Structure 1
Amino acid sequence: MLFAADPVIVDGGANKGRTTARFLELFPRARVAAFEPLPELARKLEKRYLGDARVVVQACALGPQAATAELTVLSRRTLSSMLPPTGIHEKYADQDIRQTARVTVPVVRLDAALPQGADIIKLDLQGYELAALQGAVGILPRAALILAETAFYPLYDGQPLFPELREFLAAHGFAFEGLYDPFSDAKGRLASGDALFTANAPGPGR
Structure 2
Amino acid sequence: MASLKKWLDRRRNPWKGVFYDAFKRWRRENGPARLYDYAGLPAGAVVLDIGAFRGEWSDLVLAAQPDCTIHAFEPHPGFAKGLREKFAGDARVIVHDFALGSEPGTLRLSDAGDASSGVAAHERAFEAQIVPVHQFFADTPLPRIDLAKLNIEGGEYDLLPALIAGGQIAAIARLQVQFHLFEPGFAALRDSIRHDLDKTHDCVWEYPFVWEEWQRQTS
Please say whether Structure 1 and Structure 2 have the same fold, judged by a TM-score greater than 0.5.
yes
Q: How far off its partner does 1:156 sit?
A: 5.4
Matches within 5 A, 1:34-73: 34-73=72-111
Structure with larger Rg: 2
TM normalised by structure 2 equals: 0.72
Q: Superposed, which structure 2 residues align to 1:26-175 within 5 Å?
A: 26-74=64-112, 77-85=113-121, 99-114=122-137, 115-116=141-142, 117-136=144-163, 137-151=166-180, 154-155=181-182, 159=186, 161-171=189-199, 173-175=200-202
User: Out of 48, 59, 65, which is 1:10 matched to?
Assistant: 48
Q: More helix per residue: 1 or 2? A: 2
In structure 1, C-alpha distance between the alignment counterparts of 2:41 and 2:86, rounded to whole Å: 26
Cα distance in 2 for partners of 1:158, 1:67 equals 24
- Corresponding position of 1:177: 204
User: For 1:126 and 1:33, how far apart are their aligned partners in 2?
Assistant: 19
In 2: Cα distance, 1:176 partner to 1:13 partner: 21
**Contact 2:157-2:190 within 8 A present in 1 as well:** no
Distance 1:126 1:158, change over 3 A: farther
In the alignment, structure 2 segments of 5+ residues that lack a partner are 1-38
Instruction: Show structure 1 runs of 4+ deviating over 3 A.
Output: 156-162
Tell me: CA distance 1:150–1:20, structure 2 relative to 1, closer, same or farther (3 Å): same
- Aligned partners of 1:67, 1:194: CA distance in 2, in Å? 28
TM-score w.r.t. the length of structure 1 is 0.76
SS in 2 for 1:201: coil
For these two proteins, the number of residue pairs brought into alignment is 174
Structure-2 separation of matches of 1:14 and 1:122: 9
Residue 63 of structure 1 contacts residue 110 of structure 1 at CA under 8 Å; is this kept in 2?
yes
Pairwise CA distance, 1:3:
4.1
- Give distance in 1, aligned partners of 2:145 and 2:131: 16
> Conserved in 1, the CA contact under 8 Å of 2:41 and 2:65?
no
Aligned AA for 1:148? V
- What corresponds to 1:185 in structure 2? none
> Structure 1: 5+ residue runs without aligned partners?
86-98, 183-189
Alignment-mate amino acid for residue 167 of structure 1? H
**3-state SS of the aligned residue for 2:179?**
strand
Work out the CA distance in 1 between the residues paired with 2:101 and 2:184: 16
Higher strand proportion, which one? Answer: 1
Shift of 1:48: 0.2
CA apart distance, 1:193:
0.8
Amino acid at match of 1:200: Q
Counterpart CA distance in 1 for 2:135 and 2:51 is 17
Identity of aligned residues (%): 24
Q: Determine if contact 2:46/2:147 at 8 Å carries over to the other structure.
A: yes
Q: Deviations over 1:3-42 (max 9, x none)?
A: 4311110000000000011111111111000000111000
How far has the Cα of 1:138 moved from its partner?
A: 3.9
